[in-house]
Homo-oligomer: A and B are copies of this chain.
């Protein structure tokens, strides 16, 4: 029924499924149109609009999955952390003290993010049955980075300094984020999300020792608890090639691979019991068609012989031509039809 869900589970598929990270968003003129007069936060909190954004790429392209339109900071507000958006998330009062951490709570998603659950309900009502909906959240360390740093950054120096200066307080904050994340993803599944993905955009900033100390126990706990649900579990450790040996032991179905890590290497490290998702360089979509085809073929060649969901190796760039996306989706389907 769904090539995407089948691929997640390692079942045979008629073609390699494909979807695109950030497929709902700014590169689509129809998205820019409905965002025109609405600020980002209001947009994410208005189920009618968030559902429409989720569905737009499904209407335009032959994609094999939809992904909820939301932000990785969406569940944070309910913890008692004020977030606004100026291009990216901004935390008015970054959390860097034990006293501030003591004030935080693990919210009930039905009270904190009812709009997300309603968005899922609306999307499911309109999606064809062959296109499942992926729910998602930010992974604890990645959310921690923003909450402590206060804004996006290349190195999240303040967040990582806090991790070293106050490891116990950092662990407490990470634990609260993890519990919030588990409840948030469980609620998404109960509302109708058919797969659950954890984005760990900044995990690559941790070396293996810090990953073991600050990230691994929480990832194991989150995925362990969510494993009781029916939804397959996806994890995207961006920039985490040096952590793949460790990711292997997480109870997950799919590992997202960034474009720098060859899928053949990921396959060697992660084994055959997991599906790889990725990993075309988003910049390849700017190439002339002939060059783009070579890049697509390279990814398919690297993935050959293993479980694979085609995707980019990072979110799509806002300057991308939507026609290149249509070409990509159709090319993947045509070249992998069995």
Question: Interface of A with B (CB < 8 Å)?
Answer: 152, 154-155, 157-158, 160-165, 167, 204-210, 239, 241-242, 259-262, 265, 281-288, 291, 298, 314, 317, 319
Q: Looking across the interface, which residue of chain B has its beta carbon closest to that of A155?
A: B314
- Which residues on B sit within 8 Å (CB–CB) of A209? 298
CA distance A151 to B287 in the complex (A): 22
Indicate if the CB atoms of B160 and A281 lie closer than 8 Å.
yes
CA distance A285 to B164 in the complex (A): 8
Most buried by B among A158, A209, A283: A283
Indicate if the CB atoms of A283 and B157 lie closer than 8 Å.
yes
Q: Please pick, from B165, B206, B298, the residue contacting A288 in the complex, using a CB distance under 8 A.
A: B165
Indicate if the CB atoms of A207 and B260 lie closer than 8 Å.
yes
CA distance A259 to B286 in the complex (A): 32
Q: Is the interface of A mostly helix, strand, loop or mixed?
A: helix
Indicate if the CB atoms of A161 and B283 lie closer than 8 Å.
yes
Taking the closest CB of chain B, its distance from the CB of A62, in whole angstroms, is 23
8 pairs of residues in contact across A and B, judged by CB atoms under 8 Å: A157-B282, A160-B281, A160-B283, A161-B317, A163-B283, A164-B284, A164-B287, A165-B287
Indicate if the CB atoms of B158 and A319 lie closer than 8 Å.
yes
Indicate if the CB atoms of B260 and A204 lie closer than 8 Å.
yes
- Which residues on B sit within 8 Å (CB–CB) of A283? 157, 160-161, 163-164
Give the 3 A-B residue pairs with the shortest CB-CB distance, closest first.
A160-B283, A161-B286, A164-B287
Q: Looking across the interface, which residue of chain B has its beta carbon closest to that of A287?
A: B164
Taking the closest CB of chain B, its distance from the CB of A313, in whole angstroms, is 8
